[in-house]
Amino acid sequence: MTSSTELLPNYLGGQWHSGTGTGTALLDPVTGAQLVRVDATGLDLAAGFAFAREQGGAALRALTYQQRGALLAAVLKVLQANRDAYYEIATANSGTVKNDSAVDIDGGLFTLGVYAKMGETLGARHFLLDGEPARLGKDPLFQSQHIQSPTRGLALFINAFNFPAWGLWEKAAPALLSGVPVIIKPATATAWLTQRMVKDVVDAGILPAGALSVICGSSAGLLDQLQAFDVLSFTGSAETAAVIRSHPAVTQKSVRVNIEADSLNSALLLPGEAAVSEAFDLLAKEVAREMTVKSGQKCTAIRRVFVPETLYTAAAQAISARLAKTTVGNPRNEAVRMGALVNRTQFDAVCEGLDHLKAQAEVLHDGAHHALVDAPADACCLGPTLLGTCSAAGSDAADRVHDTEVFGPVATLIPYRDLAHALQLVRRGQGSLVCSVYGSDAAALAHAATELADSHGRVHIVSPDVAALHTGHGNVMPQSLHGGPGRAGGGEELGGLRALNFYHRRSALQASAAVLAQLAAPAINTSTSSPAEAARTGTTPVAA
C-alpha cells in the first residue's frame, strides 16, 4: 500500500507532474485514516491539452481500428496483472466489500476487453462507413455516401466518485478505439484507483505519448482548454451538468457533450402476480440487492419500487426480510456484506435526503437498526433503509419520492391501482437510466416495456424463464446502451459499436459511384509493426 504522506502525481503532456499545493487528503471512510493526497495546482493545462490533441491524437489516428483494438488488449493484460492492488485500493478508499469492488474493477476490465475484440471486427480501416450509398438523381453515376471519421480533438472525462475503475474504462475504451486521446479527471474522493490504473498503463509503455492522461484534484480551468473538435463526457449531479452546458466551450465552440446525471430508477411488478409467485420473489431479491451493492451508490440503483396496492404489505415484508440479513461495517471483515458510503460528505447527504423523504413516507425497514461490524461508531456506514408511501393515493401525493434521488442504500416502495397508474407514476421520474419490469406474462411484459422505453435508456425485463440468466437491473453491460433522457442527462454511452459515434464526425461524400466503391473496398494492412511500435515510429498501415 502507498504511504499516507504520498502526493499522487498527475500525468499530462507525456510527463508526470506533482501539484504545487498542499493537496486534498483521501481518507478511509471506515477508519478515517489518511491514505494519499491529490493536487493539480500549477499544471500547464494549455500545453498538456495541446500535447494530447496534437501528439496523442495524431499517433492514434495513424493506427487502424484493428491496431487500436490490439492496444486495448495489451492494456487489459497490464490491468489484469495488477488486479489485486486495485482491490486493496478500493477497500481502503471506497470502503467496498470484495464483491462490490468487483462490480467496479472487473466490470471495467470486462468492458475494456469487449472493445478490444470489437477492434478486430472493424479491421484495418481509418474511418467507418455509415449506411449505404444514396443516388442523388436519376442517373446512378453520382451518389452520396456517409462516413464517420475520428474527431481531431481530445476527449475530456469528468467522472463521478462511485466507479473510479469502470467509469474510466467504459469511456476510455471506445474513445481510444476511435483514435481519440483521453484526459481523465476522476472525482477527487476516489481518484487513487483511477490514477493507479493510468500509472500502470503508462509505465508499461503501451499507448503513444499523449493518448491517456490523468488529472487528480480540482477541475478548475479544464473546460477553458476545450476546442471545437474536442468532446466532453460528464457523470455527476444535474446542477453541475447545467453549469457545464452553459460554459462558452459548449455554447460558443459547440464542444460535443455527453451527460449522465440524476436518475430515479424504478422496478415495476406487473398486475396479476401473487405474493407467492416467482416474479414477486425475483423483484424482492433484486430490490434488496440493488439497495446494498456498493451501499446503493450506483447511478443505476433502484430508487422506486412499484407494486400492486394489494401486494404492498407482502412486498414490504419480503424486501425487509432480505435487508435484515445484510451485515454492515468494515469491508475487511469477511462477515460484512455491505461496506461504507464513500466519505462523511456523502454520509451526511444521504441522512439529509432520508429525512427529506420521511416527511412523505413511512419507514418499512430502518437501516439505523443495523449494528456495525468491526467498525467505529463514526464510520461512514449506514444500513439499508426501505421507505413506503402506504397507499395508491399516497403515491400520488408523495412528490418527493419522485423528485429526490438519495444516493445511498435507500429505496421507496410505492403501491399503484392499475397498470395505467403505475406507468404514470414511473414517468414522474422525468427520465431515468433504467427501469426493470417483473412478471410472468410475455405479452404483458413486452407491452409495459415498450410503453416505458421512451423515458428510459434501458428497460430490463425479468421473467421466471430468465431468473438465472438476466444480468441484473443495475449492471451496465457494454453491449447495451447506458444513459437516459430528461433528468438522467440525455446522454448515451456504450451500446456496442454505438459508443464510437460520440468520438466520430459524420460527413457526406458526394462522388462518382466508382470513387465511392473505393471506400468500401477491403482494407489491407501492409505494416509489419506492432500497434505500439507503429504508434511510436509513425508507421501508417496502407488501406487499398
Beta strands in 384-451 (DSSP E): 385-388, 410-416, 432-438
Residue with cell 424504478: 266
Neighbours of 130 (CB within 10 A): 14
Q: Residues 527, 528, 532, 538: is their CA dihedral positive or negative?
A: negative
SS3 440: coil
Active-site pick, 260, 286, 290, 493: 260
Picking from 481, 482, 497, 492, the residue whose alpha carbon sits closest to that of residue 114 is 497
> How far apart, in whole angstroms, are the C-alpha atoms of residue 365 and residue 413?
11
φ, ψ of residue 228 to 5 degrees: the values are -55, -35
The answer to whether residues 434 and 456 touch, using CB atoms and an 8 Å cutoff, is: yes
**Which string of b and e fits 236-261 if b means at least 16 CB within 10 Å?**
beeebbeebeebebbeeeebbbbbbb
**Which string of b and e fits 184-193 if b means at least 16 CB within 10 Å?**
bbbbbbbbbb
Q: Is 299 a catalytic residue?
A: yes
> How far apart, in whole angstroms, are the C-alpha atoms of residue 262 and residue 265?
9
The answer to whether residues 323 and 292 touch, using CB atoms and an 8 Å cutoff, is: yes
> How far apart, in whole angstroms, are the C-alpha atoms of residue 376 and residue 4?
20
Tell me the one-letter amino acid at 250: V
DSSP alpha helix (H) spans, 56-165: 57-61, 65-81, 83-93, 98-122
Q: Is 451 a catalytic residue?
A: no
Residue with cell 468494515: 330
Active-site pick, 170, 216, 286, 299: 299
Burial of 542 (0-12, 13-18, 19+ CB in 10 A): exposed
Tell me the one-letter amino acid at 245: R
φ, ψ of residue 219 to 5 degrees: the values are -95, 5
> How far apart, in whole angstroms, are the C-alpha atoms of residue 291 and residue 326?
10
Residues serving a catalytic function are 260, 299
